[in-house]
Amino acid sequence: MDAQEQQLPQPPRPEPALENRPYWEALTEHRLVLQRCTGCQRIRHYPRPVCDACFSMAYDWAEASGRGTVHTWAITHHPFHPGFKRQVPYTTVTVDLEEGVRLQAPFRGDSALLKIGLAVVVDYEDVDANLTLPCFRLA
């Protein structure tokens, strides 16, 4: 890495809402958890205070299998944030998780293989001791 590259800013860090910390803490333990309504057992993502099915505000965090299928994808060539300048081009996938919600994350694999319905599995990339981000690989 040359001096100029070292000066590039880092990607933006998530600033978790108070209630969302368990999601991010689980990722640091290489676990994917999803918010589950304890009123009607419905899984929801992204996290929010109210279940839009039964309007309960009670929930817990359910461990997800990490398995899913590709819903769609994009390949970024232009770094819209300077923190991603080193990474372009990179592929992001939107994945239908087995639990019925979607997760969007970088795809680590050959993007030429991508198609709707392709089976993928979540993996974890440690940024530092306090932050782990999800990504997807071929199942």
Partner 1 sequence: MDQDLISLKDRAAVTGVGETAYVRETNKTVVALCMEASLAAIADAGLHPRDIDGVIPYPEAGLIAEDFITNFGLTDLRYSAQTPMGGASPVAAVQSAAMAVATGVANHVLVVLGLGSLADVRITKRLSDMPQMRLIGEFEMPLGMNAPAQLYAHMARRHMELYGTTSEQFAEVAMTCRHHAQLNERAMMRKPMTLADHQASRLIVEPFRLFDCCLESAGAAAVIVSRAAQAPDLKQRPVYIGGIAEGHPPSPSAITQRNEMTRLGLANAAPVAFRMAGVTPADIDVAEIYDCFTWTVICQLEDLGFCAKGEGGRFVEQGRLRLGGELPVNTHGGLLSEAHIGGMNHIVELVRQLRGVCGERQVADAEVGLVTGYGDLGDGSVAIMHR
Site string for partner 1, 78-117 (x = CB under 8 A): x-xx--x--x-xx-x-x------xxxxxx--------xx-
Site string for partner 1, 5-44 (x = CB under 8 A): ------xxxxxxx--x------------------------
Q: State in angstroms the smallest separation of the CB of 72 from partner 1.
A: 4
Rounded to 10 degrees, the C-alpha dihedral 88/117/34/131 comes to: -20
Q: Which residues share a beta bridge with 128?
A: 131
Within the chain, what is the greatest distance between any pair of CA atoms?
55
Report 56-75 residues binding partner 1 (CB under 8 A).
71-75
Nearest alpha carbon to residue 32 among 138, 116, 136: 136
Burial of 108 (0-12, 13-18, 19+ CB in 10 A): middle
Where do contacts with partner 1 occur on this chain (CB under 8 A)? 11-17, 20, 45-46, 71-78, 80-81, 84, 87, 89-90, 92, 94, 101-106, 115-116, 133-134
